[in-house]
Structure 1
Amino acid sequence: MTGKFINQVAVVTGGSTGIGFAIAQALLAEGAKRVYITGRSAATLDAAATALGMNAVAVVSDVAQQTDLDSLKALIEGRDGQLDAVFANAGICEKNPVGETTEAAYYTMFDINVKGVFFTVQTLLPLMKDGSSIVLTASICSSNGMEGLSLYNASKAAVRSFARTWANELKGRKIRANVLSPGFTRTPLMDNGLKMDERQIEALRNHVGQIVPLGYMAQPEQIASSALFLACADASYVNGVELMVDGGLSQI
């Protein structure tokens, strides 16, 4: 590790499992002073914080609830005062075949994936240092029409759009806003959101091996390293982009 985040303070929403946890772990390995991880499950957060060590702070917080975001802001402000990076990573993925989708499912998806991202950034923005970084987690689904996932696809397209506007809107403070769009990655979303069993996951793994140029499904750590690149000084002139981390799938 190169210590690219020494003494920095960051927030990772949805940081207790999957890509979010891997981002938090990598930040700490790179010298971060403190990493706040959020999620809705106290038990999962506690386990994550134990694994991450004393420089991780677990906060039970629902990104769809403004009161929770306000409490998160107050906690960070009282303890560290400022932020160097915000990773708005929290999101859900559930199937919604057109013709079978309820209004409740629509609101749940957009409250977490779109409203949650917007108000996470807006709420924490006053704590962000000039020249700091915002990294939004979207998906390669932001630019394709993956069957049965129209709400998820559209929600991630909205996330991608946020970065374009914020890169322009925050230029006076030199705050960079970029989007990380993972491809097929083995995370708990497959089990908990898409309700896939091991047989289905293995079938998907085989399918991915055939359609992705690199020939395999990613692990969260491989996605996290790209998230850190977007947030660090190495990417100081990278702004408003969508970085596809998908083994080449979206390029062919």
Structure 2
Amino acid sequence: MNDVLLKMMGNCLTTDVTKTTHRNVYPAIDPSCPELSQAGKTVLITGGATGIGFATAQAFIKAGAATIIIAARRTNVLSEASTSLQDEAHRSGYPAHVIAETCDVSDTTTVDALWKTLEDKGVKVDVLVLNAARFTETKTLLDLGAEEVWSQFEANVKGPIYMTDRFNKQNIGSQKFLVNLTSSNMHCCHTDYAQATADRPGYALTKASGSLFVQLIAKDVSPDEMQIVSFHPGMVYAAGWEAFGVTKDMLPFDEPELPASFAVWASSKEAQFLHGRYVFASWDVEELAEGGLRRRFGEDIEFLRISVGGLRGTNLDKGWQS
């Protein structure tokens, strides 16, 4: 079974962008690090009641955020998550106040209601974490059909567009931080890379579209106004794996604390050099911030951005010249 899984995952299990990679939280992205402090800030996390979203709320609590808003569709799950987070904050002596709001990001009516509730309470959001997403069956786009593909656009593209619009229109004059959880599916969508990711073209299509949306916003807005970072959270064990009979020991899974802590780091000024870029949570942030990689961010406008491989503008990329 393990050999079959490893073959399906292909080379998506490894990455060589930084010499050091991580599967769990490490000192540079530790939420308790003073440089990453979120003291006084209000953080809104979509899909915040379970999985990576819940772990992200825990990380922001550790970073000293004043208010954590978790938004999700299932009221009962939200209530349990909110109680658990608030209890954790009290036990550990953190100041966070946890708010739970029922919201389906694909439904603009519930999104409007969420922001109206926050406005009525005088709550202004400093950090928006776009974590909610819709997955689909492992079928081709044509086999999925137009209705199912469009439903993924509703959640993975329209949802982030609408949430970002409402986020931008509030808390005017204060620096904002937008963190977009995306997926390596958007570029590992060929069987040459991995069968497991190639089998979900609907997810690749919509995650690429949503990520391009925030990338283009970053092109036109200064990080001093709204800092924007997209990242692949890694391969975190969740209920979806269990449903397929996969246990946690079968693959080298990442701990949920890794992307959760990375989200805190991405919401700090330490990550300003990544404004408008896409990275992996597993990449070592100190390596990204130093040496040749850091220089490339300044010299290569296409580096770690969505574009057409092989072209620079309208011309052939020099790296492809024969």
TM-score when normalising by structure 1? 0.85
SS of residue paired to 2:151: helix
Question: What residue in structure 2 maps to residue 142 of structure 1?
Answer: 186
Deviation at 1:83, TM superposition (A): 1.6
Over residues 41-87 of structure 1, what are the superposed CA-to-partner deviations in whole Å (9 max), with x where a residue is unaligned?
Answer: 00110110011107111101010111111111112222244221100
SS of residue paired to 1:70: helix
Identical columns (%): 22
Deviation at 1:245, TM superposition (A): 2.4
Deviation at 1:156, TM superposition (A): 1.1
Q: Is the 8 A contact 2:258 2:282 kept in 1?
A: no
Q: Is the 8 A contact 1:183 1:246 kept in 2?
A: yes
Q: Is the 8 A contact 2:105 2:163 kept in 1?
A: yes
Residue 90 of structure 2 is aligned to residue 41 of structure 1: no
Deviation at 1:124, TM superposition (A): 1.9
SS of residue paired to 2:99: strand
Correspondence for 1:13 among 27, 35, 46: 46
SS of residue paired to 1:234: helix
Over residues 114-134 of structure 1, what are the superposed CA-to-partner deviations in whole Å (9 max), with x where a residue is unaligned?
Answer: 111111111221124532110
1:35 and 1:169 map into 2 onto residues whose CA distance is 28
Residue 109 of structure 2 is aligned to residue 73 of structure 1: no
Which is worse superposed, 176-185 or 165-174? 165-174
Q: Is the 8 A contact 1:88 1:136 kept in 2?
A: yes
Question: What residue in structure 1 maps to residue 255 of structure 2?
Answer: 219
SS of residue paired to 2:129: strand
Question: What residue in structure 2 maps to residue 211 of structure 1?
Answer: none
Residue 84 of structure 2 is aligned to residue 51 of structure 1: yes
Deviation at 1:20, TM superposition (A): 0.7
Q: Structure 2 vs 1, CA of residues 142 and 44 (structure 1 numbering), >3 Å: closer, same or farther?
A: same
SS of residue paired to 1:83: coil
Question: What residue in structure 2 maps to residue 2 of structure 1?
Answer: 33
Q: Structure 1: which amino acid aligns with 2:74?
A: S
Question: What residue in structure 1 maps to residue 154 of structure 2?
Answer: 111
1:143 and 1:128 map into 2 onto residues whose CA distance is 34
Query: Which has the larger Rg?
Result: 2
Question: What residue in structure 2 maps to residue 92 of structure 1?
Answer: 134
Cα-Cα RMSD = 2.1
Deviation at 1:247, TM superposition (A): 6.9
Question: What residue in structure 1 maps to residue 290 of structure 2?
Answer: none
Residue 206 of structure 2 is aligned to residue 155 of structure 1: yes
SS of residue paired to 1:136: strand
Question: What residue in structure 1 maps to residue 234 of structure 2?
Answer: 183
Task: Give the gaps of 5 or more residues in structure 1.
Answer: 209-215
Q: Is the 8 A contact 1:63 1:112 kept in 2?
A: yes
2:56 and 2:108 map into 1 onto residues whose CA distance is 24
1:157 and 1:40 map into 2 onto residues whose CA distance is 23
Greater RCO between the two (CA within 8 Å, min separation 6)?
A: 2
Deviation at 1:90, TM superposition (A): 0.4
Over residues 131-176 of structure 1, what are the superposed CA-to-partner deviations in whole Å (9 max), with x where a residue is unaligned?
Answer: 2110011011121112220000111111221222111222286211
Deviation at 1:100, TM superposition (A): 2.4
Q: Structure 1: which amino acid aligns with 2:97?
A: N
Count of aligned pairs between the two proteins: 233
Q: Is the 8 A contact 1:183 1:247 kept in 2?
A: no
Q: Which runs of 4+ in 1 moved over 4 A?
A: none
Q: Structure 2: which amino acid aligns with 1:175?
A: M
Question: What residue in structure 2 maps to residue 174 of structure 1?
Answer: 225
Q: Is the 8 A contact 1:186 1:219 kept in 2?
A: yes
Residue 162 of structure 2 is aligned to residue 131 of structure 1: no
Q: Is the 8 A contact 1:6 1:30 kept in 2?
A: yes
Question: What residue in structure 2 maps to residue 120 of structure 1?
Answer: 163
Correspondence for 1:232 among 265, 268, 271: 268
2:163 and 2:204 map into 1 onto residues whose CA distance is 20
